[in-house]
């Protein structure tokens, strides 16, 4: 792929907090020459991110042809966390007149935007591999405790991890809807 220079690859890892994204990425790509991939990790959108469209920050990190792009989280956060916390949508500076009157229409539009984004990448030589790592709530709890107990992992812990666990059923519904709405033949 690198020698040919016509194709790139985008690999997306998505999971709940403590779902194993970092360790899975390390394990899967440990044999790949680091100069042949580009890593993008996406946390909570910055003020600058929110002043752009919701896909803007992901465009910035796309790999070039001949390279593997690895994204730790991606635009799915915009239909997961936003769906569970719709009040966050107000921070995106979208003119109110352009927002649909009902949330169902909004999510349908965002799902469509994501599918079109991935189709565009595919048609331009960048197939997208999407990996969702499921972690059970009990296992997540054990992993969060392990982060607190191991000094070398404490940097990964956030009080927000505990707060978000309260919304577990909402996140599971949002994940199921998102996976069903964005799976496409060329980008399953």
In a domain, 2, yes or no: no
User: pLDDT value at position 171?
Assistant: 96
The number of distinct structural domains making up the chain is 1
Which helix (DSSP H) or strand (DSSP E) does residue 181 occupy?
A: helix 168-182
Q: Quick one: pLDDT at residue 57? A: 94
Residue 39 inside a domain? The answer is yes
Query: Residue 35: its pLDDT value, please?
Result: 87
Q: Which domain holds residue 17?
A: 9-182
Q: Tell whether 3 is covered by a domain.
A: no
- Does residue 188 belong to any structural domain of this protein? no
Task: Give a yes or no: residue 4 inside a domain.
Answer: no
The pLDDT, as a whole number, for residue 23 is 94
Can you state the angle between helices 77-84 and 103-123, rounded to 10 degrees? 170
Provide the pLDDT for residue 54: 92
Here the CATH number for the domain that contains residue 178 is 3.40.50.300
pLDDT given for residue 34 in this prediction: 85
Number of H helices, E strands in the chain: 8, 4
Return the closest-CA partner of residue 110 out of 74, 139, 137.
74
187 is a domain residue: no
pLDDT less than 70: residues of the chain = none
- Residue 134 located in a structural domain: yes
């Amino acid at each position: 792929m690198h020698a040919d220079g016509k194709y790139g690859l985008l690999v997306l890892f998505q999971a709940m907090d403590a779902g194993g994204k970092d360790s899975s990425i390390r394990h899967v790509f440990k044999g790949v020459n680091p100069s042949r991939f580009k890593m993008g990790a996406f946390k909570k959108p910055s003020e600058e991110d929110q002043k752009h469209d919701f896909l803007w920050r992901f465009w910035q990190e796309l790999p070039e042809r001949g390279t593997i792009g690895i994204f730790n989280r991606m635009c799915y956060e915009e239909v997961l966390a936003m769906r569970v916390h719709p009040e966050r949508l107000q921070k995106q500076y979208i003119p109110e007149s352009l927002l649909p009157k009902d949330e169902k229409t909004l999510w349908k539009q965002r799902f469509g935007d994501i599918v079109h984004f991935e189709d565009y990448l595919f048609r331009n030589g960048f197939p997208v591999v999407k990996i969702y790592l499921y972690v059970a709530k009990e296992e997540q709890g054990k992993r969060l405790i392990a982060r607190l107990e191991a000094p070398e992992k404490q940097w990964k812990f956030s009080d927000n991890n505990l707060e978000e666990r309260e919304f577990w059923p909402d996140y599971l519904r949002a994940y199921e809807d998102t996976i069903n709405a964005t799976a496409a033949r060329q980008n399953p």
